[in-house]
């Protein structure tokens, strides 16, 4: 069983549904509204745990009902919450997900306590990092804390996975040098490399660029099309499963978490792990809400057999 530690964000998601996005100055009625657990870090941790990994979370919430709610989302899925700190300085993070009838989403985030995660918080969780197969991080918590965590991981022989989302051009070269696997989507890939993703040739060019920046293993996810992977000089493309998508909010996070639950620490089974992650993601997009949609290992395996 893989041991996975996730350093990242916890957000309470407010999902607003409507037929289409309003034009400037236009008012439209909602067709629905709901609340669910979210945050890229929490989503990925829950996905890893539900897919069978022993999972620990490093993050921060406020002393509020939202913080209690988010911790419960973790523990209900079997995620160890002992390194989730509480702060009096800000409220628990929140996100507002705008979802139209075609399942296209746009997301607005208030980082809250996610922006208060520090190197000291990471140091407190060093025992979990040292004991893990993988340390996963994203960009919804401070880069300084992530880089510090990756340094601890590398010193301990723990492999590192970076999901560079939300997209940013301000990624330190020193962080990429500590990253064993990077997994951006096509938009994030273009931000990091300047390469516009249109076909496999452009994926190879972008992935090679990332390798030249110091990351040996790369996955580029391209939504409903699938995922490209490269490991050393080997590469391939794994098509996505065709399903009727309802809400794509947690698709990428489910992919990362599920991937980490089956991936070998030397990345030797990268193609197989990507197929498993694609299957998990295909199940997540068929339900509404981020964390409520994340499948279990049994559900993923059942879909594989179907």
Residue 11 annotated as lining a ligand binding site: yes
Respond yes or no: is residue 253 known to be catalytic.
Answer: yes
Residue 13 annotated as lining a ligand binding site: yes
Residue 117 annotated as lining a ligand binding site: no
Distance CA 232, CA 241 (A): 26
Residue 140 annotated as lining a ligand binding site: yes
Residue 235 annotated as lining a ligand binding site: no
Q: Which residues lie closer than 8 Å to 234 by C-beta, 6 or more apart?
A: none
Distance CA 53, CA 285 (A): 21
Residue 100 annotated as lining a ligand binding site: no
Neighbours of 74 (CB within 10 A): 26
Residue 225 annotated as lining a ligand binding site: yes
Residue 6 annotated as lining a ligand binding site: no
Sign, Cα dihedral of 148, 154, 160, 162:
positive
Distance CA 3, CA 10 (A): 20
The catalytic position among 80, 199, 253, 266 is 253
Tokens at 114, concatenated: 């996610």
Residue 289 annotated as lining a ligand binding site: yes
Exposure string for 216-248, b = 16+ CB within 10 A, e = fewer: ebbbbbbbeebbbbbbeeebebbebbeeebebb
Residue 63 annotated as lining a ligand binding site: no
Q: Are 73 and 291 in contact (CB under 8 A)?
A: yes
Residue 77 annotated as lining a ligand binding site: no
Q: Of 273, 247, 241, which is closest to residue 161 (Cα–Cα)?
A: 273
Residue 215 annotated as lining a ligand binding site: no
Q: Which residues lie closer than 8 Å to 21 by C-beta, 6 or more apart?
A: 98, 100, 104, 106
List the catalytic residues. Answer: 253
Annotated binding site for ATP: 185, 221-226, 252-253, 278
Annotated binding site for K(+): 247, 249, 284, 287, 289, 293
Annotated binding site for substrate: 11-13, 39-43, 140, 253
Annotated binding site: 11-13, 39-43, 140, 185, 221-226, 247, 249, 252-253, 278, 284, 287, 289, 293
């Amino acid at each position: 069983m893989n041991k996975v530690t996730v350093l990242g964000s916890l957000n309470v998601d407010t999902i607003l549904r409507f037929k289409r996005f309003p034009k400037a100055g236009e008012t439209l009625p909602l067709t629905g509204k709901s609340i669910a657990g979210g945050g890229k870090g929490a989503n990925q941790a829950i996905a890893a745990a539900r897919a069978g990994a022993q999972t620990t979370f490093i993050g921060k919430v406020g002393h509020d009902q939202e913080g209690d709610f988010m911790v419960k989302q973790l523990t209900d899925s079997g995620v160890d919450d002992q390194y989730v700190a509480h702060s009096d300085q800000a409220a628990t993070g929140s996100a507002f997900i705008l979802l139209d009838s075609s399942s296209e989403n746009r997301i607005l985030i208030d980082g809250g306590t996610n922006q208060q995660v520090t190197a000291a918080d990471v140091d407190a969780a060093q025992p979990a990092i040292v004991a893990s197969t993988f340390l996963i991080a994203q960009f919804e918590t401070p880069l300084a804390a992530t880089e510090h965590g990756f340094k601890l991981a590398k010193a301990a022989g723990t492999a590192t996975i970076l999901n560079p989302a939300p997209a940013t051009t301000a990624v330190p070269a020193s962080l990429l040098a500590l990253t064993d696997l990077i997994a951006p989507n096509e938009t994030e890939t273009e931000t990091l490399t300047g390469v516009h993703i249109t076909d496999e040739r452009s994926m190879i060019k972008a992935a090679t660029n990332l390798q030249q920046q110091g990351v040996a293993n790369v996955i580029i996810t391209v939504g409903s099309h699938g995922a490209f992977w490269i490991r050393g000089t080997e590469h391939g493309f794994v098509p996505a499963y065709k399903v009727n998508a309802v809400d794509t909010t947690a698709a990428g996070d489910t992919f990362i978490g599920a991937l980490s639950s089956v991936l070998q620490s030397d990345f030797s089974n990268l193609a197989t792990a990507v197929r498993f992650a694609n299957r998990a993601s295909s199940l997540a997009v068929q339900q509404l809400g981020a964390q409520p949609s994340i499948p279990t290992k049994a559900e993923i395996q059942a879909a594989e057999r179907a």
